[in-house]
Structure 1
Amino acid sequence: MSVSMLQSLFGQKAWANNELFDVLATVTAEAELHTAIRTLNHIYVVDRIFRAHLLGEPHGYEATNTKATPTLAELRAAVAETDAWYQRYVAGLSDAALAEQLRFRFTDGDAGTMSREEVLMHVITHGGYHRGNVGQVLKNISVAPPRDLLTKFLHVTEPQRREL
C-alpha cells in the first residue's frame, strides 16, 4: 500500500471519528451512550497500544480497554490527538519503513510480529469495525449514524471529484 493511500485512510478515520462524536453528543439514552463510549475507548486504547509498537516504546496498558470510562468530551479530545498523531506519522513514512518488521507483545503476553504497514492497516480496519458497532447502537435507539465511508470522505474533502 502506498503512503498516499495510508494518508487518505487516516484522514478518513479522523473525519469519521469526528462525525461520530458529533452525533454521540446529541444522544440522551445513558446506557447506550455508555456502551458507545466504552467501544470508542477500546478503539482509542488499541490505537495507543499500536502507536507504542510503531515507536518501539512501552504502552503501559494491561488490557485493550480501561477500567474507568472517560467522559465523551475527554475521549473526543484524546481520540483527536491520537488521530492527528497517526496522520503526521504516516506522512513521514517511506516504502522501506512500511516494510519494516516490528516485534512486540500483545496485552495478553503473546509475542507478535507485523510489518509497519500491517500495523497501520490493523489500526484502520479495527477502528472501522468498532465504529460500525457504535453505529448499530445508534440505530437501535433510532439515531441515524454518520455514513462512515471512504467515498463520502473523498467527496466531502475533495468536492471536485464529483465533477464528470
Structure 2
Amino acid sequence: MSAKTLLKGMLAHQAWANDELVEKLVGLDSSGDAGERHAAIRLMNHIHVVSRIFAAHLNGVAHGYASDAPEPRALRVAVAEVDGWYLDYLETVPEQELAAPVAFTFTDGDQGCMTRQEMLTHIVLHGSYHRGEIGCMLAGIAVSPPWDTYAVHLHRAEPARRLQRGRQPADV
C-alpha cells in the first residue's frame, strides 16, 4: 500500500469522524451542561484551527489565526470544508512530494520543518486525540459519543469488506 493510499484512508476517516462528532455537538442541548458543551465545542474548534494552520503550511501561505469557538452548526460546515480540502490536496499532490520537507513557523513563533506526509499524519493524529477528549466530556454529561474508530469507518465506507469470505482472519 502506498503512503498516499494510506493517508487518503486516514484523512477520509478523519472527515467522517469529525462529522459524526460535530453532529453530536449540534444536537446537544445548549441549556444543559453548558460548561462541558462549551469546552467540547472549543476543543473541536481547536482541531479545526490546527487543521487550517497546517493547510496553510502545506500551501506556503500565512494562516492569520486568532479565533473563538463558533456555534456547532457553523463549526460543522467549517470542519467539513477543511476536511474536504485535505482530501482534495492529497489527490493533487504528487506522491514524491509527500516526502518533501516544508519549513514553517509554529503559532508560538518557533521554527518547524516536517515533510508533507508528517504534516498530514500529524493532522489525523491530532484530531483523533482531541476527539477522544471530547468523547470523554460527552460521556461525563451522559451523552454517548460517536463510535469513530478507523475500523468502523472502513466498514461503513466499504460495506463489502464485511462480506469478504475468501480470506482467513489474522491470528491474534
TM-score relative to the length of structure 1 = 0.94
**Residue 142 of structure 2: SS of its match in structure 1?**
coil
| Structure 2 Cα separation of the partners of residues 78 and 95 of structure 1 | 27
Q: Partner of 2:58 in structure 1?
A: 54
| Structure 2 Cα separation of the partners of residues 58 and 23 of structure 1 | 32
Is the aligned partner of 1:10 residue 2:11? Answer: yes
Corresponding residue pairs, total: 160
| Structure 2 Cα separation of the partners of residues 127 and 121 of structure 1 | 10
Aligned AA (1:4): T
Q: Shift of residue 33 of structure 1?
A: 1.2
The CA deviation string for residues 125-150 of structure 1, in whole angstroms up to 9 with x for no partner, is: 00000000100001101111111111
Aligned AA (2:86): Y
Q: Contact conserved, 1:3 with 1:93, CA < 8 A, in 2?
A: no
Q: Partner of 2:126 in structure 1?
A: 126
The CA deviation string for residues 40-94 of structure 1, in whole angstroms up to 9 with x for no partner, is: 01011100100000000011125xxx2x321111111111110111010012222
The CA deviation string for residues 19-45 of structure 1, in whole angstroms up to 9 with x for no partner, is: 111212222232211011100010111
Q: Partner of 1:19 in structure 2?
A: 20
Aligned AA (2:20): E
Aligned AA (2:139): K
| Structure 1 Cα separation of the partners of residues 144 and 69 of structure 2 | 24
| Structure 2 Cα separation of the partners of residues 139 and 37 of structure 1 | 15
| Structure 2 Cα separation of the partners of residues 149 and 46 of structure 1 | 21
Is the aligned partner of 1:45 residue 2:49? Answer: yes
| Structure 2 Cα separation of the partners of residues 77 and 135 of structure 1 | 20
User: Looking at CA atoms only, which structure, 1 or 2, has the larger radius of gyration?
Assistant: 2
| Structure 1 Cα separation of the partners of residues 104 and 112 of structure 2 | 5
Within-5 A mapping of 1:55-134: 55-61=59-65, 66=67, 68-134=68-134
Which runs of 5 or more structure 1 residues have no equivalent in the other structure?
none
| Structure 2 Cα separation of the partners of residues 88 and 24 of structure 1 | 26
Is the aligned partner of 1:136 residue 2:139? Answer: no
- Could you list the structure 1 runs, at least 4 aligned residues long, displaced by more than 3 angstroms after superposition: none
